[in-house]
Amino acid sequence: MSSSRSFLSLLGNLAGQVIRSVVSNRTSSPSGPTRQPTTPRSSGTTTAPKPKPTSGAKRPSGGTASESGDLIAAHAAELAARERLLEGDPTPGQLGATATIEVPPPAANALTVTYAPEKDGDPDAGEVVWTWIPYEEADGRGKDRPVLVIARHGRDRVYVVRLTSKSHDGDRDYLSIGSGAWDSKGRESWVDIDQIYSVHVEGMRREAAVLDRTRFDTVAAALKRAHGWSAA
């Protein structure tokens, strides 16, 4: 009887070991087949690769401010040279010893503004004549324009004030003298009483007209107030 119980106990122990072994193997093994990683399906839209920068490409340079200024100055000089070339031969009063020049106004009481027009081919006080007048920049450029002769300046020269058709209403350095035969378009003219020029007798291109005494006296009075000269 005891032998039977021992045998049954041995069988029970063996069966327990077998069951524990089976359970242990199931726990350590995956519960299902191993799934391979899947590749995402394409949606049908292809993304273009980004272009790679070209190593040899260079960005344009704008240059420095100094370089830009030099280019502008060179261009301006070229235009000025072309303008002088297009002007052709110099006009009377433009170049040399007979050139028209801007001069400082004579001192007070050092000049007498006179009226002595005479159609003799020479520039006389009271006449409007044409000559070449340099620009204020004194860079070699200028313009042929009418001027009013106001007095003698030595043997071969006369003092003049320039005329302009540009309106200077309200400008105390300018005086309106109306229109005259010196302007073929009949425009109003203004006398610049501030700037004084010296014209050589051979620097006059032509006599344009004689300013009447009334208007000349008005100019003489304005010059007297501005510079302290006398009038005759």
Question: Under CATH, to which class is 98-231 assigned?
Answer: mainly beta
The string of pLDDT tens digits covering residues 198-217 is: 999 999 988 889 999 999 99
Q: Flag the least confident range among 77-81, 211-215, 217-221.
A: 77-81
Q: In Å, how far from its chain's centre is CA 79?
A: 14
Cα-atom radius of gyration of the chain, to the nearest Å? Answer: 52
pLDDT at 161 over 50: yes
Q: Which amino acid is present at 212?
A: D
pTM of the complete model: 0.61
Task: Give the pLDDT of residue 174.
Answer: 96
Q: Domain ranges in the chain? A: 98-231
| 117 and 127 Cβ atoms separated by less than 8 Å | yes
Residue 170: pLDDT band (50, 70, 90) is confident
pLDDT > 80? residue 6: no
pLDDT at res. 90 = 82
174 touches 193 (CB < 8 A):
yes
Chain centroid, CA 178 distance in Å: 35
pLDDT at 78 over 50: no
Q: How confident is the model at residue 119 (pLDDT cuts 50, 70, 90)?
A: confident
Report yes or no: 125 and 149 within 8 Å, Cβ to Cβ: yes
User: Is there a contact between 198 and 103 (Cβ–Cβ < 8 Å)?
Assistant: yes
**For strand 112-113 and strand 230-231, is the pairing parallel, antiparallel, or unpaired?**
parallel
The number of helix segments (H) and strand segments (E) in the chain equals 3, 10
**Number of C-beta neighbours around residue 201 at 10 A:** 14
